[in-house]
Amino acid sequence: MAYQINLLPWREQERAKYQRRFILMLCFGVVFSVTVQWGIAQYLEQQSSVQVQRNRSLESHIGWLNNELKELNEIGKQHDSILTRLDVVEELQQNRNTTTQLLNVLPDMIMEGIYLNKVRMHKKQVEIKGFSDSNARLATMLDKLENSPLISSVEMHSIVSGQKIFGHDVSSFDVSFRLLSLEKEKKS
What's the rounded Cα separation, in Å, for the pair 178 and 126?
Answer: 6
Q: How many domains does one find in the chain? A: 2
CATH number of the domain at 121, please.
3.30.1360
Q: Are residues 62 and 49 in the same domain?
A: yes
21 versus 104: the higher-pLDDT residue is 21
Q: What is the pLDDT of residue 30?
A: 95
Check if the beta carbon of residue 112 is closer than 8 Å to that of residue 132.
no
136 and 66 part of one domain: no
Percentage with pLDDT > 90 across the chain: 38
Judge whether 186 lies within some domain: no
pLDDT band at 132; cut points 50, 70, 90: confident
Residue 2 belongs to some domain of the structure: no
Q: Which of 92-101, 112-121, 177-186 has the highest average model confidence (pLDDT)?
A: 112-121
- The confidence band for 14, taking pLDDT boundaries of 50, 70 and 90, is confident
Tell me, yes or no, whether 76 and 155 share the same domain. Answer: no
More confident residue, 118 or 91: 118
101 and 16 fall within a common domain = yes
- 183 band by pLDDT with thresholds 50, 70 and 90: low
Asked whether residue 42 is assigned to any structural domain, the reply reads yes
**Would you say residue 123 lies in a domain?**
yes
**49 and 102 inside one domain:** yes
| Residue where one domain finishes, among candidates 88, 108, 128 | 108
In this structure, is residue 170 part of a structural domain? Answer: yes
Residue 129 phi, psi (nearest 5): -125, 140
State whether residue 113 is helix, strand or coil: coil
Pairing of strands 125-132, 114-122: antiparallel
Q: Is there a domain that residue 188 lies in?
A: no
Q: Please check whether residues 64 and 18 belong to one and the same domain.
A: yes
Has residue 80 got a pLDDT over 90?
yes
Is the domain of 79 the same as that of 150?
Answer: no
pTM: 0.49
Element at 155 (helix H, strand E): strand 151-165
Q: Which amino acid is at 146?
A: E
What element of type H or E holds 98?
helix 98-109
Q: What is d(CA 28, CA 32) in angstroms, rounded to the nearest whole number?
A: 6
Q: Which domain holds residue 173?
A: 110-179
Is residue 154 in a domain?
Answer: yes
Least confidently predicted of 2-11, 97-106, 121-130, 153-162? 2-11
Domain-ending residue, one of 81, 108, 135: 108
Q: pLDDT averaged over the chain?
A: 85
Coil vs helix vs strand at 165: strand
Q: Is 116 left (phi over 0), alpha (psi -120 to 50) or beta?
A: beta
Q: Does 1 reside within a domain?
A: no
Residue where a domain stops, chosen among 80, 108, 136: 108
92 with 131, same domain: the answer is: no
Q: What is the pLDDT of residues 83-106, one digit of tens each?
A: 999 998 887 777 777 777 777 888
pLDDT of 147: 85
